[in-house]
Amino acid sequence: MARRILVTSALPYANGPIHIGHLVEYIQTDIWVRFQNLFGNDCRYFCADDTHGTAIMISAQKNGVTEEEFIAKMSEEHQQDFAGFGIEFDNYGSTNSEENRVLCHEFWQSLRDADLVVEKDVHQLFDPEKKTFLADRFVRGTCPNCKSENQPGDNCSKCGAAYTPAELIDPKSTLSGATPELKTAKHLFVRLEQLHEFLNEWTQCGKHLQDEVANYLKGHFLDNPKEPELKDWDISRPGPYFGFEIPDSPGDYWYVWFDAPIGYIASTWQWCKKNGEELADWWKNPETEVHHFIGKDITYFHTLFWPGMLKTAGFTLPTKVHIHGFLTVDGKKMSKSDGTFVKAATYLKHLDPAYLRYYYATKLGPRLDDLDLNVKEFVEKVDADLRGKIVNLASRAAKFVEKTGLSEVYPEDGGLFEKGAKAGEEIAKAYEDCDLNKAMRLILELADAANPYIESNKPWELRKDPENAQKLQGVCTVGINLFRQIVVYLAPVLPKLAVDTGNLLNDPIVSWQQSQTPLTGTAVNKFEHLIQRVEIEKVHAMIEDSKEEAAAEAPAGASQADETATKFEDSAQPMVDEPMAEECTIDDFVKVDLRVARVLSAEEVPDARKLLKLTLGLGGDHRKQVFAGIKAAYKPEELVGRLVIMVANLKPRQMKFGLSEGMVCASGPGGEEVFLLSPDEGAKPGQRIH
């Protein structure tokens, strides 16, 4: 009997673009959903943009638009990025929808009815410069539990501890860099301790969580001798705040982490309305499985708060919460200055999304281990596996049976197809267990067994003698069937390859069962290249584009600073402004050689959206070439002859447009608001700034 399965991924925050770190989760989830549907289950995938909070409000103000306009544009961009990577949702909604508002009221009333809501005075951090209370994500400091530095205001990305911003050690406002002041305000809390017994049973039963997650929750929260009671959950924020106002507490708004997971249900409800389905069949039905896919940084919210809310409101509890690790690139955090902080849209400009889907699949296992994208391995593995072992089977056989089609009876193949059919059970279990790495290894073993068959029978030699026509057809029928069997197993990972293979053989791949029976007697269409070679030049171009984008978006004068991106953290949503950098000593500062320079020439850079190419004179014949992300602020002709201040001893960096030998100093947030720093009149090119 087919299973009814509802699947979600963590909702991407509507304050920034999708990048390759985010894509780990959405690709993983999409693969799992596609497998379930291919296997014959009724599996639906729901997601939405997480749209509320102070960060959205401030970003909208900066862009001169309403919050609704801002999140609508971001939703469009997010959905384009997901579609570009073949990630398909049954519905993609918004937490700012009317459905979500109605459901939030329902959940809130259930918490009230259960006497789980309490009002308390909260010592809340207040930015004395910006004159505003600070939302959690606008405070960074040292975790009070594990002492990790630069942690967000609600939970630690290192140890997972949840806390209030006021509990941070040495907090700083990310809006101004100021040290916040403590002020008192009324907040509403959910008394999570009242659900302790239920949460202990649910998390420790061995069904819903990975073992390491269950053990972590047990040791840190549910059975912690230092803190035997679960902390009350702060669920409100005072205005101004972009979100839903709490009906029985005017002027207060539900904290984003209250309405965000409810967005899973709201997105489902939107789909139900479009398709004549009942929401209760999906969220209040014991026969419906609910599977959440999330990153390990938001474990606390999805394994304690969320089950508690669902239980109280009478909704279906998660069948399984699948938690994955973070992405690193070449063993390090994604870095803007290294070009490894790659946006989804930037990747799609240069490379086939199938490469990343397959590479991630080879790295993802059922546990919480981080996965590393090694650029060299990425290129070599995709070429070796997809082109050299899999597609090569079809390319060496299909063209020889374009006129004859496949044999009417499947030929003897030494048991290869039967062996592959039997492997389907183990491959299916690996998919079910989210052990994609194992599934890919098992599939590659089939390719490794199939290729020697083609090599030993040499269809390219058989075609030379007309008397071998029947044998040639048989050999190619075997080769194509072994290829097709592998593609059926790979269809969740490489859906486009599955579609193209179905078109080649006039038999669409729609069921896992197609791997169990050979295809015979069908016409074969003209073979077209199914997977192109990974060009290392395009990988380098993508990295250079990412560097350029980061340089142009960074505060002026810091375009070549090493801005290291944090790992995928939905709970630590994007900052609008960065706090002040760490203090440096005078010895550090004197290493920077600031010089007066005259702009001798300035010109636009073809194919670069934000860069100008400057030739700077430092006196005599001493010149330097600099690429600066100031195109939106200055016309080239306005700069010629102007005195500027440059970092003259910055290590040169090879960009795809040429060598950049320094950096001009400027201030401002970027874009059109960049202001070059100039010395007073009388300064001469080459003079050092002291």
Domain ranges of the chain: 367-515
Name the token pair of 43.
């599996």
Strands (E), 400-542: none
Question: Cα dist. 506→487, 489, 498, 499, 522 in Å?
Answer: 14, 18, 12, 10, 7
The CA distance from 40 to 127, in Å, is: 55
Q: Give the number of residues written for the chain.
A: 690
Name the token pair of 89.
């949702």
The CA distance from 626 to 689, in Å, is: 19
Q: Using the structure block, give the residue that is written with the tokens 């990412």.
A: 546
Rg of the chain over CA atoms, in angstroms? 29
pLDDT of residue 567: 27
User: pLDDT tens-digit profile of 59-96?
Assistant: 998 899 999 999 999 999 999 999 999 999 999 999 99
Mapping DSSP to helix (H, G, I), strand (E, B) and coil, where does residue 236 land? strand
Q: Are 34 and 237 in contact (CB under 8 A)?
A: no
pLDDT of residue 584: 65
User: pLDDT tens-digit profile of 96-115?
Assistant: 999 999 999 999 999 999 99
Confidence of residue 180 (pLDDT cuts 50, 70, 90): very high
Q: Using the structure block, give the residue that is written with the tokens 């729901």.
A: 46
Beta strands 42-49 and 91-94: pairing type?
A: parallel
The answer to whether residue 562 scores a pLDDT higher than 90 is no
Q: Would you call 591 exposed, middle or buried from its count of C-beta atoms within 10 A (0-12, 13-18, 19+)?
A: exposed
User: pLDDT tens-digit profile of 270-282?
Assistant: 999 999 999 999 9
Domain 367-515, CATH: 1.10.730.10
**Cβ-Cβ contacts under 8 Å for 522 (sequence gap 6 or more):** 405, 406, 505, 506, 507
SS3 letters across 3-55:
CEEEEEECCCECCCCCEHHHHHHHHHHHHHHHHHHHCCCEEEEEEEEECCCHH
Beta strands 663-664 and 623-628: pairing type?
A: unpaired
Q: Are 52 and 256 in contact (CB under 8 A)?
A: yes
Point out which residues pair with 93 in neighbouring strands.
48
The answer to whether residue 563 scores a pLDDT higher than 60 is no
User: Rounded to the nearest 5°, which phi and psi values hold at 597?
Assistant: -140, 150
Range list of H helices, 321-415: 344-350, 353-363, 375-382, 392-395
CA dihedral 14→18→19→21, nearest 10 degrees, is: 70
The CA distance from 29 to 9, in Å, is: 7
- What is the pTM (predicted TM-score) of this model? 0.79
The CA distance from 172 to 672, in Å, is: 28
Range in 53-57, 131-135, 326-330, 386-390 the model is least confident about: 131-135
Q: How many CA atoms lie within 13 A of 89 on its CB side?
A: 24
Confidence of residue 588 (pLDDT cuts 50, 70, 90): low
Name the amino acid, one letter, at 16: G
Q: Is the peptide bond before 171 cis (omega within 30 degrees of 0)?
A: no
Q: Using the structure block, give the residue that is written with the tokens 């080459």.
A: 686
Q: Which of 203, 140, 116, 212 is nearest to 566 (CA)?
A: 140
pLDDT of residue 587: 62
User: pLDDT tens-digit profile of 482-492?
Assistant: 999 999 999 99
The answer to whether residue 581 scores a pLDDT higher than 80 is no
pLDDT of residue 583: 58
| Mean pLDDT score across all residues of the chain | 90
Q: Which of 492, 486, 499 is nearest to 448 (CA)?
A: 486
The CA distance from 301 to 9, in Å, is: 14
User: Rounded to the nearest 5°, which phi and psi values hold at 317?
Assistant: -80, 155
**Cβ-Cβ contacts under 8 Å for 310 (sequence gap 6 or more):** 316, 317, 318
How much of the chain, in percent, has pLDDT values that exceed 90? 71
- The DSSP result for 305-329, as a single string, is IHHHHHHHHTPPPPSEEEEE--EEE
Confidence of residue 569 (pLDDT cuts 50, 70, 90): very low
Name the amino acid, one letter, at 82: F
What's the rounded mean pLDDT across residues 635-646?
Answer: 85
Q: Which of 171, 169, 149, 170 is nearest to 158 (CA)?
A: 149
Q: Are 192 and 308 in contact (CB under 8 A)?
A: yes
Q: Which of 356, 329, 323 is nearest to 341 (CA)?
A: 329
Of all helices (H) and strands (E), which one includes residue 257? helix 256-275
Confidence of residue 576 (pLDDT cuts 50, 70, 90): very low
The CA distance from 14 to 10, in Å, is: 12
